[in-house]
Homo-oligomer: A and B are copies of this chain.
Amino acid sequence: MTPEEFRSAGHELIDWLADLRTSVPDRPVLAQVDPGQVAGEFSAEPPQGTQSFGQLMAELDSVVVPGLTQTLHPMHFGWFPSNAALSSVLGDIACSGISALGISWESNPSLTEVEQVTCDWMRQLIGLSDQWEGSIQDTASTACLVSMLVARERASGLAQNTGGTQAITQPLVVYTTAQAHSSVAKAALLAGFGWDNVRKVETDPATYAMIPAALEQAIERDLAAGNKPAAIVAAVGTTGTTAIDPVAAIVAIAQRHDCFVHVDAAMAGSVMLLPEYRHLWDGIEGVDAISWNPHKWMGTILDCSLLYFRDIALVEEIMATNPSYLRSNADGAVPQLRDRGIPLGRRFRALKLLFHLRLDGIESIKNRLRRDLENAQWLLQRVEASEHWEVCAPVPLQTICVRHRPDGLSGPELDEHTLAWVGRINQSGAAYLTPSILDGEWMVRVSIGVEATEREHVEALWELMQSACNTR
């Protein structure tokens, strides 16, 4: 394809995408397709000839679009918001069009240096000191794995340089809670700690946050058993209920036992853009690693997960590769971002942050977050004031966990009722909510924060919820 053919098709594509985004509110939130339906529309054998751009877009319209779940829909209240501000989409399009290759500073100086600059801007915007140095990872899952690998090597005195993790004789232990994201346990297992060495520290039954005294006891039990506490993963905003583990208390314990602390603020990092919320992670300067995802609530398009370390030199020592074919005269004078994570090659992801900040401006982003926090409080009050409705957990951010409990219903019957009413809403395509298990019972998470979601949509959702439970 020539640049002129690209220009022509690109204009068509931009119009198609603008139209698609405009149509989002008119589409079902949950894709109304059966398993295998989309795949079944394609030939089993690879295509041999070519299609025109028009034919390809017709295929997208008829086959692909019906299978898109609309996570940008104003009635999407599922999982966590996964916004994609159109300003940042333009930055991602620029990344594609520029088609840079990041494997060393020399392979694309702008890619490396704009990533440095934007990561540092983001650091300042959430109020972190200049002791932190970051990079863009694909997701918080990968970020957590990188942290666990660093924690493992730190605790083992760089075992990778000799016998590796398999030569460790004093078992290294990781501490987290049952409320932590599934990626935390996955990261610990992939890093080789083993399930027997992952402690689910008790959480407060009211707040679902880690209990510092329970952490201390768990560590002491391990020390008594001859194990070595290596890492604590604290969640600032758990996935289930946005519970906030007490960072300062955890740091105090970690320091006594020389433990690495990773803070998973994938969701709640965005709220730290608002100074009035930073007390939620008091003590943060004492941890070792922080991850947060602008690609969630803040709305820089996926994939944009920031990972900050206090001791970046240690990370680079563990992750470094320096083959002869990647050396240049600039070595030593420039960072090599490949040494801050797993992949060698990287895209020019910093452009989506640059575009987002430059075009939307941080003030409009902050105003939107405050709008969502207010909408959550509005819904919280309605639920609290309504008979048979329960709020299952504190609401420090923008996610409300609810159960509708008709008189006397509990146990499996309540679960059946919960899954039935949320299923009715979700399958209808009118809105989407995430059912989740808390304290062994199903509840429903209402996660507010899609860019397009205004108060009217939250009001409409509350009507829908009551209708689905026949309480109106």
A100 with B71: in contact, given A189-B160, A303-B347, A359-B56 (CB under 8 Å)?
yes
Main secondary structure of the interface of A (DSSP, over half): helix
Q: Any chain B CB within 8 A of the CB of A9?
A: yes
Please pick, from B22, B96, B329, B342, the residue contacting A93 in the complex, using a CB distance under 8 A: B96
Contacts of A367 in B (CB 8 A): none
Size of the chain A interface, CB-CB below 8 angstroms: 161
A94–B192 touching, CB < 8 Å: no
A110–B67 touching, CB < 8 Å: yes
Q: Any chain B CB within 8 A of the CB of A270?
A: no
A30 with B196: in contact, given A122-B46, A343-B138, A362-B47 (CB under 8 Å)?
no
Contacts of A5 in B (CB 8 A): 86
Return the chain B residue nearest A4 by Cβ.
B18
Q: Any chain B CB within 8 A of the CB of A53?
A: yes
Contacts of A192 in B (CB 8 A): 152, 159-160, 164-166, 191-192
Contacts of A252 in B (CB 8 A): none
B67–A162 touching, CB < 8 Å: no
B167–A163 touching, CB < 8 Å: no
Return the chain B residue nearest A165 by Cβ.
B192
Contacts of A45 in B (CB 8 A): 121, 124
Q: How far is the CB of A139 from chain B (nearest CB, A)?
A: 4
Q: Any chain B CB within 8 A of the CB of A255?
A: no
B6–A324 touching, CB < 8 Å: no
Q: Which of A35-43, A199-207, A213-221 is found at the contact surface with chain B?
A: A35-43
Q: Any chain B CB within 8 A of the CB of A420?
A: no
Contacts of A114 in B (CB 8 A): 38-39, 42, 64
Please pick, from B2, B141, B354, the residue contacting A86 in the complex, using a CB distance under 8 A: B2
- Copies per complex of this chain: 2
A164–B194 touching, CB < 8 Å: yes
Q: Which of A306-314, A432-440, A460-468 is found at the contact surface with chain B?
A: A432-440
Interface residues of A in 159-197 (CB under 8 A from B): 159-168, 171-172, 181-183, 185-186, 189-197
A240 with B325: in contact, given A18-B6, A46-B122 (CB under 8 Å)?
yes
A47–B436 touching, CB < 8 Å: no
A96–B89 touching, CB < 8 Å: yes
A325–B101 touching, CB < 8 Å: no
B90–A6 touching, CB < 8 Å: yes
Q: Any chain B CB within 8 A of the CB of A149?
A: yes
B6–A361 touching, CB < 8 Å: no
A68–B98 touching, CB < 8 Å: yes
B31–A3 touching, CB < 8 Å: no
**With A6-B90, A161-B195 already in contact, 7 other A-B pairs whose C-beta atoms are closer than 8 Å:** A30-B106, A38-B110, A50-B364, A79-B107, A141-B344, A192-B192, A323-B436
Q: List 11 A-B contacts (CB under 8 A).
A: A1-B360, A3-B21, A31-B108, A50-B360, A67-B110, A79-B103, A92-B96, A99-B301, A139-B345, A160-B192, A325-B435
Minimum-distance CB pairs A-B, first 4: A164-B194, A165-B192, A17-B97, A67-B110
